[in-house]
Amino acid sequence: MKITCIGAGYVGGPTMAMIALKCPHITVTVYDLSTERIAAWNSDKLPIYEPGLEEVVFQCRGKNLFFTTDESAIANGDIIFIAVNTPTKTYGVGKGHAADLKYIESCSRKIAELVKSGHKVVVEKSTVPVRCSVAIRKILSSYASSTSTATFSILSNPEFLAEGTAISDLSNPDRVLIGGDQDALGLESIEKLASVYANWVPDKKILRTNLWSSELSKLAANAFLAQRISSINSISCICEATGADVDEVARAIGTDTRLGPKFLKASVGFGGSCFQKDILNLVYLAQCLNLPEVAAYWETVVTMNEYQRRRFAEKIIRSMFDTVGGKSIAIFGFAFKKDTGDTRESSAITVCAKLLEEGAVLNIYDPKVTMEMIKLELEYLISDERTRKLIATNVKLFDSALGASKGAHAIVVLTEWDEFITANYAEHYEQMVKPAFFFDGRCLLDQRQLQSIGFQTFVIGKASPALRDEFFYGN
């Protein structure tokens, strides 16, 4: 069997590498139109950082895993995956909410143009709105002509891997979801794809559904995960004001087996390329279906996230005597989570932009993020001309945490990298301007320990030590 995949990004690359690893009898070819990206996949320095990925790619590349810009390779696949991005639309109808499907459409057209005969299983791997497969099907069938006898089945097979743990998620998934038409050909196609995963995934973990359930489940799963984070973040605000401790509350909630302990870590807000995009996509879908209450319900998950980011940045500014202009602030972490160099939708962008707006000097340290990415993200978010100019002068990247905190007034933890847990903060404190502040946006550190070193602290979801013995309720 041959598999091809269009899109060599965070999903296409690792997923195809895992299929190649687990299925040595299958030839897997990943196509992308970016020559730069394909060159990187074919080099010693892969275009994305993901623990364990290099080992898998290096083991299979050139044997049964190939990366190419040659589009003619696409038609060779018996199964053709579409793994291109579907970002939130930034223009036109649905701007700010709807998924931009232009890449899905161009891929479908490309497949239709290139495949002239045989039966192909086309798999939506990208996250798409429900019923997107209708559009793909229409495009594919509209190319049928005297010169093409090709036929197609469309499947939905959303990806549930998380960045930073992609390889373990792929090798041991909670489930594999395959949706398809419920007629004979559809069911046969589902089984064809299931037989690929069956090389390493137990059959009881391979869920078969209709197309729409599969498409919707992906959006719903991300919305539910993000909702948990917004829920615990909303509780973190109450904790700070009352003296309850958000980690203790999360533990107490999470031991209820009906709820479970995962995704209850309060933070400066969720980031990443998926949660916000997929919720907005769901909101737009609900609006289109004339379900305004449903749309409003899910939109609050994003609103809460934006509030959490904003209030964290404002807390920093207020705590530092309402003036951060010209002060160096050490930013620990810029990626949207640990173990990835990905900065898309990272809460660090919003927090840094706010501090920059106030004229702060940002000494950024992140073990995996480049200056180029930081600048791109800030330039994308900041529209105000005055603040944009500060990106060139006030944003500095350091190659160590100690370098970043030297001479700084504050440390701000924005990504939960392990090294921030084990750092020697007494050493940092020594070289900082006093009073030295510590703002923990990831609830990583023991507030009392930091205070015993001498830091003025703020940790999300923990009361300030100055909290008086007050009874607020009803005031």
Q: How far apart are CA 406 and CA 427, in angstroms?
A: 10
- Tell whether residue 264 is a contact of ligand UGA (CB under 6 A): yes
Single residue of 12, 13, 272, 367 touching ligand UGA by CB under 6 A: 272
Selected from 22, 265, 368, 409, the binder of ligand UGA by CB under 6 A is 265
Give least dist CB 175 to ligand UGA, A. 11
Nearer to ligand UGA, 110 or 337 (CB): 337
Q: Give the closest residue to 393 by CA, choosing from 361, 358, 418, 346.
A: 361
Q: Does 367 bind ligand UGA (CB under 6 A)?
A: no
User: What are the DSSP E strand ranges found in 47-116?
Assistant: 65-68, 79-82
Q: What are phi and psi of 4, to 5 degrees?
A: -125, 155
12 is an interface residue for ligand UGA by CB under 6 A: no
Regarding 247 and contact with ligand UGA (CB under 6 A), the answer is: no
276 is a site residue for ligand UGA (CB under 6 A):
no
- In the bound state with ligand UGA, the residue whose beta carbon lies nearer, of 192 and 337, is 337
* Nearest alpha carbon to residue 305 among 264, 280, 269: 269
Distance between CA 283 and CA 241 in Å, rounded? 31
* CB nearer ligand UGA, residue 212 or residue 263: 263
Looking at residues 209 to 228 of the shown chain, list those that interact with ligand UGA (rule: CB under 6 A). Answer: 222, 225
Tokens describing residue 365? 């340290």
**By CB under 6 A, residue 100 contacts ligand UGA:** no
Tracing tokens 């370098």 back to the chain, one arrives at 403
User: Does residue 163 touch ligand UGA according to CB under 6 A?
Assistant: yes
For residue 414, state whether it binds ligand UGA (rule: CB under 6 A): no
Q: Applying CB under 6 A, does 420 fall inside the site for ligand UGA?
A: no
Measured CA to CA, the distance from residue 300 to residue 339 in angstroms comes to 28
Query: How does 197-227 read in b/e, with b if 16+ C-beta sit within 10 Å?
Result: bbebbeeeebebbebeebbbbbbebbbebbb
Q: Judged by CB under 6 A, does residue 16 bind ligand UGA?
A: no
Please state the closest distance from residue 368 (CB atom) to ligand UGA, in A. 14
The residue type found at 105 is: E
Which residue type occupies 438?
A: F
Shortest distance, position 51 Cβ to ligand UGA, whole Å: 13
CB atoms within 10 A of CB 113: 13
Extract the tokens encoding 238: 């109450």
Contacts of 176 (CB under 8 A, 6+ apart): 157, 194, 197, 201, 205, 206, 207
- Phi and psi angles of residue 426, each rounded to the nearest 5 degrees, phi first: -65, -40
274 in catalytic set: yes
Using the contact rule CB under 6 A, the part of the chain among 100-108, 157-165, 253-261, 303-311 near ligand UGA is 157-165
CA 336 to chain centre: 7
Which segment (16-24, 192-200, 261-269, 284-292) binds ligand UGA by CB under 6 A? 261-269
From the list 274, 288, 352, 443, the catalytic residue is 274
Q: Is 309 in the site for ligand UGA (CB under 6 A)?
A: no
- Does 160 bind ligand UGA (CB under 6 A)? Our answer is yes
Size of the site for ligand UGA (CB under 6 A): 20
Q: Are 407 and 431 in contact (CB under 8 A)?
A: yes
Q: Could you tell me the smallest distance in angstroms from the CB atom of residue 275 to ligand UGA? A: 6
Q: If binding is defined by CB under 6 A, does position 84 make contact with ligand UGA?
A: no
User: Does 274 engage in binding with ligand UGA (CB under 6 A)?
Assistant: yes
Whole-angstrom Cα Rg for the chain:
24
Provide the H-helix boundaries in 198-291: 211-242, 246-254, 275-288
CA 11 to chain centre: 11
Q: Does 125 bind ligand UGA (CB under 6 A)?
A: no
| Distance in angstroms (rounded) separating the CA atoms of residues 366 and 368 | 6
Q: 3-state class of 192 per DSSP?
A: helix
Taking the C-alpha atoms of residue 209 and residue 278, their distance in angstroms, rounded to an integer, is: 20
383-402 residues near ligand UGA, rule: CB under 6 A = none
Taking contact as CB under 6 A, which single stretch among the options 15-23, 89-97, 269-277, 432-440 is the one that binds ligand UGA? 269-277
Q: Of residues 162, 220, 381, 463, which one binds ligand UGA by CB under 6 A?
A: 162
- Which range in 264-272, 348-356, 370-378, 450-458 contacts ligand UGA by CB under 6 A? 264-272
Single residue of 200, 212, 263, 307 touching ligand UGA by CB under 6 A: 263
159, 240, 247, 339: which one binds ligand UGA (CB under 6 A): 159
Site stretch for ligand UGA (CB under 6 A), options 25-33, 258-266, 287-295, 361-369: 258-266
- Terminal CA-CA length for the chain: 69
Q: Segment near ligand UGA (CB under 6 A), from 177-185, 259-267, 309-317, 360-368?
A: 259-267
Q: How many CB atoms lie within 10 A of CB 251?
A: 12
**Rounded Cα gap, residues 275 and 219, in angstroms:** 9
Does the protein bind ligand UGA through residue 336 (CB under 6 A)?
yes
| In the complex, least distance from residue 158 CB atom to ligand UGA, rounded to whole angstroms | 8
Which residues contact ligand UGA by CB under 6 A?
127, 159-163, 222, 225, 229, 263-265, 267, 270-272, 274-275, 336-337
Which residues form the catalytic set? 274
